């Protein structure tokens, strides 16, 4: 699924609809921008050090999610979409630099966000449900 296209197709009035009890659709986009950036940056660190990324060693993302929310809460949807595109490209560049085969050999599924447990997919489904 092309996440950027999904968000670009939203109407202006959609951005303030609550997708969860706490987050509006715009907040969900902020959240995804933060995670895309984190994955792009962690991939480089993890490849150099061999250590697991911090987010695979915990189940508590509250502080990180709040930090991302605070950082991006005043950004417009247009700016957030530009940020998402920027970090998608950076992640893809990092994947190409390292080599997709090497990443998959290490079972770093978090890099690709694929399958039934897709993080982005989970949030897109929340948004689709809110828009019904």
Reported as a single tens digit per residue, the pLDDT across 42-97 is: 999 999 998 999 999 999 999 999 999 999 999 999 999 999 999 999 999 999 99
The structure's pTM equals 0.92
What's the CATH fold of domain 3-131?
1.20.120
Measured distance CA(111)–CA(114) in Å, rounded: 9
Greatest C-alpha distance within the chain: 45
User: CB under 8 Å, gap of 24 or more: what pairs does 57-65 form?
Assistant: 64/34, 64/38, 65/31, 65/34
Domain-by-domain residue ranges, the chain?
Answer: 3-131
Q: Which residue has the tokens 């982005």?
A: 120
């Amino acid at each position: 699924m092309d996440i950027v296209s999904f968000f670009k197709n939203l109407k202006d009035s959609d951005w303030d609809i609550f997708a969860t009890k706490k987050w509006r659709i715009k907040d969900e986009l902020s959240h995804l921008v933060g995670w895309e950036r984190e994955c792009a940056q962690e991939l480089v660190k993890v490849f150099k050090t061999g250590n697991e990324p911090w987010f695979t060693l915990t189940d508590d993302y509250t502080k990180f999610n709040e930090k991302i929310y605070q950082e991006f809460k005043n950004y417009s949807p247009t700016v957030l979409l530009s940020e998402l595109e920027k970090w998608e490209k950076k992640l893809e560049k990092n994947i190409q630099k390292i080599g997709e085969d090497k990443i998959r050999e290490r079972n770093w599924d978090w890099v690709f966000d694929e399958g039934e447990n897709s993080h982005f997919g989970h949030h897109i489904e929340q948004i689709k449900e809110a828009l019904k």
